[in-house]
């Protein structure tokens, strides 16, 4: 099976930073679900589009400015792939992937991060998006589907190593990153 990694967590939990770090470190293809969601009310629909992406290798970008679907994109399903975003880790998607990561972080820090990143664009939609996250989490329980559950602070850019208790019961930040990079190694692809 070609290595496929799903990175999920609530908004502002560190998914984007972690996915960027791993894609740069491994050369894996990266699809961000922000390009899939059909608008602010589209978390569930975006999650379902991941299933199509993982089976066909095709996805259509959502044009946020025009509120409509835009151009099609393709990924090479024979190469390592990372899909990151809220709703990536569902039962249907996990069945098609090699590994899943759930990032956890307190609500206050998540909101501060998300609004610092997206500001006035996101602020009016925070509660609507959080309600969609609640519904998806209640339905899918993505944390239980994950192979690793980690503290979202581990993805910070400053290179700071968090304590093992903050990240994973027995692993340091560098141990986890090395493990995930090894999972995405193109040499793992079966002929």
| Those residues with Cβ within 8 angstroms of residue 120's Cβ, 6 or more apart along the chain or in another chain | none
Residue 121 lies in a domain: yes
C-alpha distance from residue 117 to each of 13, 113, 127, 156 (Å): 12, 6, 16, 13
Question: Sign (positive/negative) of CA torsion 16, 96, 55, 128?
Answer: negative
- pLDDT per position as a tens digit, 68-107: 999 999 999 999 999 999 999 999 999 999 999 999 999 9
Distance (Å, whole) CA 102 – CA 104: 7
pLDDT at 177: 86
pLDDT in tens, 119-173: 788 888 889 999 999 999 999 999 999 999 998 887 554 333 333 333 333 456 7
For residue 150, tell me if it sits in a domain: yes
Q: What is the pTM of this model?
A: 0.87
The predicted pLDDT at position 173 comes to 73
- 17 part of a folded domain: yes
Q: Residue 100 sits in which domain range?
A: 4-186
Average pLDDT over residues 174-190: 81
45 falls in which pLDDT band (50, 70, 90)? very high
73 in any annotated domain = yes
**Total count of domains within the chain:** 1
Report whether pLDDT(113) > 60.
yes
pLDDT for residue 169: 39
Q: Above 70 in pLDDT, residue 58?
A: yes
Tell me if 132 is assigned to some domain: yes
Please report the pLDDT score of residue 160 as a whole number. 38
What integer pLDDT is reported at residue 124 of this predicted model? 84
Asked if the structure places residue 114 within a domain, the reply is yes
Residue 191 located in a structural domain: no
3-state SS, residue 179: helix
* pLDDT of the residue at 188: 65
CATH number, domain at 113? Answer: 3.40.50.300
Q: What pLDDT shows up at residue 157? A: 43
In a domain, 88, yes or no: yes
190 — pLDDT class (breaks 50, 70, 90): low
pLDDT at 191: 56
> Pick the residue with more confidence: 87 or 185?
87
């Amino acid at each position: 099976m070609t290595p496929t990694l799903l990175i999920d967590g609530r908004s502002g939990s560190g998914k984007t930073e972690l996915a960027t770090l791993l894609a740069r470190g491994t050369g894996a293809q990266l699809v961000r679900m922000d390009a899939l969601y059909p608008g602010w009310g589209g978390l569930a629909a975006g999650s379902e589009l991941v299933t199509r992406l993982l089976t066909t290798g095709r996805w259509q970008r959502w044009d946020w400015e025009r509120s409509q679907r835009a151009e099609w994109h393709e990924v090479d399903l024979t190469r390592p792939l990372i899909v990151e975003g809220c709703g990536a880790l569902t039962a249907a998607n996990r069945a098609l992937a090699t590994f899943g990561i759930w990032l956890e972080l307190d609500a206050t820090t998540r909101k501060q991060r998300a609004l610092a990143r997206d500001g006035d664009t996101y602020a009016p939609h925070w509660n609507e998006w959080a309600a969609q996250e609640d519904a998806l989490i209640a339905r899918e329980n993505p944390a239980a589907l994950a192979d690793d559950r980690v503290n979202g602070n581990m993805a910070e850019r400053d290179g700071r190593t968090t304590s093992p208790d903050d990240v994973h019961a027995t692993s340091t930040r560098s141990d986890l990153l090395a493990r995930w990079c090894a999972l995405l190694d193109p040499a793992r692809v079966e002929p």
